[in-house]
Amino acid sequence: MQGDEHEMHTLVDASIRSLAAAVYMCTFNSPLEIKSSLLMARQKLSPLKDKTTNLTIPRLELTVLLIGIRLTAFILKEISILVKTIRIYSDSQAVLHWIQTGDKNGTFVGNRCKEIRNKLQNGKIREFAQNFIT
């Protein structure tokens, strides 16, 4: 609606069993009226471990962060609403460190970090590091 302000909040988390991402839209109609709606969510089971993969919790957190960022980018492309603020939340300090330090952590981590950084720099998704919460 005209005059409303919109914020998008993406929450991601991973465990040894599953990965989940959820995107919410908060609409501020007035200083006292806030509406929030779940726009889209994605959940998938963690891959089974075998001898060739080294999937740790931080790597799963990195994977689900990429899923959340892709989900957010998809929604932004499809909606016709001006979103004032976009925030992405995760509880993994290791992932934040990987994203900030570059591609020195092997192919798996490096490729995902590169895609995340590219999407964060495209101007649509920003404020990641400042809003990264624990």
CATH number, domain at 37? 3.30.420
**Helix and strand tally (H, E) in the chain?**
3, 4
**Which domain does 49 fall in, by range?**
5-131
Q: How many domains does the chain have?
A: 1
Is the distance from CB of 56 to CB of 28 less than 8 angstroms? no
pTM, two decimals, is: 0.84
For 127, list phi and psi in degrees, rounded to 5: 65, 25
Strands 18-30 and 5-14: antiparallel
Q: What angle do CA 12, 14, 17 make, to 5 degrees?
A: 145
Show pLDDT as tens, one digit a residue, over the chain (134 residues): 556 899 999 999 999 999 999 999 999 987 789 999 999 999 999 887 765 567 889 999 999 999 999 999 999 999 988 898 888 998 888 888 888 887 677 888 999 999 998 888 765 444 444 444 43
